[in-house]
Structure 1
Amino acid sequence: MNPIVGEDVIGQGGQNLTAEELTVLVMLADGATPSAIETAVNGDRAAVRQIERNLRAKLGAKTKTHTIARGFVLDVLAPRALCLLLSVLSVGAFPDGQTNRVPRRAGAPTTASRASRTQRQDVGPGGPLPNIAALYAQVS
């Protein structure tokens, strides 16, 4: 399903919503009047109320306001300002236009984990660590 762009929010498919239900949800979040919503879905007031009831049931909401809040919580709605900010930031992330994605490894995940150090620790629990290279040079 294609995203539905409103004035303040963007509706994305999810929660098994139909295009009509998503349109009503975006318009409710934008503060549209009931008559504007009726016109957008080509229905009457009873049809819009039924769509709102379906929305409340699918999103687990109790009121219109709660329906909009649940839309944001369930990632069905996203603020347009946030989408704009993320798109602007992503342009600078890859200046050459190439994405540097790491290919996914095939196979079963390993259960062992690795610990890595970024810098050498010169002090251990018993004091300074000996210089292994110097000791090796003395022995050979």
Structure 2
Amino acid sequence: MIVQIFGAYIAVVACSILLEAPSIYKYYNGIIGAVGWGIYQIAQLHFGLAVSTYIAGLAISLMANLYARWFKAPLTVFFIPGFFPLVPGSAMYLTVYELLQGNTEASAGNFLDAIKIAVMIALSSFTIDTAFKAFKKVKYSKSVF
């Protein structure tokens, strides 16, 4: 598992370079991706695919939001590379591969997995974003009175 976490770190740093993120942030992006992948691997021991992706997505979204506020940088600088390890690329590849092989049942199963992962990534992002907006609104309303 340590090797996979280190691999996720390297992959996210490479993705940050490829996406031309500011060079000062590429190592922080690697930390976000590695932590998210580690949480995903640990959650996989206890939960299924969708719940594990959601839990890891919550961690990635939380860290990306915190780093964006800490460094006063756009959220997407941390958010997009951080989710790189969770993106369902292999599930989509296997969907098309099995479809071309004529195995529609396996193709449908892989497609469902890809959709589950994508929905959980979006839901985790929405959850953290809503929590940050609610916290900001509560903080603002307390400072007014």
TM (norm. structure 1) is 0.27
Higher Rg of the two aligned structures: 1
Bigger proportion of residues as helix: 2
Higher RCO structure, 1 or 2 (CA under 8 Å, sep 6+): 2
More strand by share: 1
Alignment TM-score, normalising by the size of structure 2: 0.26
